[in-house]
Amino acid sequence: MLDRAIQQAIRPLLARVAGTLVRAGMGADMLTVTGFAIGMAAAVAIGLQHFLAGLVLLLLSRLMDGLDGAVARLTQPTDRGGFLDITLDFLFYASIPLAFAVADPAHNALPAAVLLASFIGTASSFLAFAIVAAQRGITSTALPDKSFYFLGGLTEATETIAAFVAMCLWPQWFAPIAWGFAALCAITTALRIGWGCQRLK
């Protein structure tokens, strides 16, 4: 829901940093993989109950995720880069609820499982529409620089990261945060299915 506004707000800053990285010889794919590795380190830290360290690593990972696209726009975006970016993003998103389940299985395992199931809904509805949109030549006017057609909803990347930040700051409240965010993901999935069916008539 907030992705477009956030991306427009931070794009000038990301572009300036990306310009420095390009001049230093840093490629978009390298940033994507680096961001994913840092994200996995965040999951390990959270699983070991080092929640503030996990939060710092999580935010650094997402900074890398923003910079890889900015670097790609300054150089040459590739289909391989787009594929790598979205695949590693989804693996990162799945790793954080799993890490909280590992940190406290007795209290977090069930809400983490439900949240992961809700992520399947948002991810599958997003990717399924992107595939058909590509086949039909449908492009996004809201986020035209993306490699895929990005369907909106209540729970986009910005809201997901905000939920992860809250979980790291208040790990004792993981369960209610996870239940609430899973409900929002379910609404997003329903909206995307309805919108997609209407759009593809």
Provide the domain limits for residue 101: 3-199
pLDDT at 18: 81
CATH of residue 111's domain is 1.20.120.1760
Helix axes 51-74, 3-23, angle to 10 degrees: 70
pLDDT at 154: 83
Number of domains in the chain: 1
pLDDT at 82: 86
163 and 181 Cβ atoms separated by less than 8 Å: yes
pLDDT at 151: 67
* Amino acid sitting at position 81: G
Q: What is the pLDDT along the chain (201 residues), one digit of tens a residue?
A: 666 777 777 778 888 888 888 888 888 999 999 999 999 999 999 999 999 999 999 999 999 998 988 898 888 888 898 899 999 999 999 999 999 999 999 999 999 999 999 999 999 998 888 888 778 777 665 555 555 566 667 888 899 999 999 999 999 999 999 999 999 999 999 999 998 888 887
* Amino acid sitting at position 139: T
CA distance 68 to 51: 26
pLDDT at 3: 60
Check: pTM over 0.85? Answer yes or no.
yes
pLDDT at 1: 67
pLDDT at 148: 57
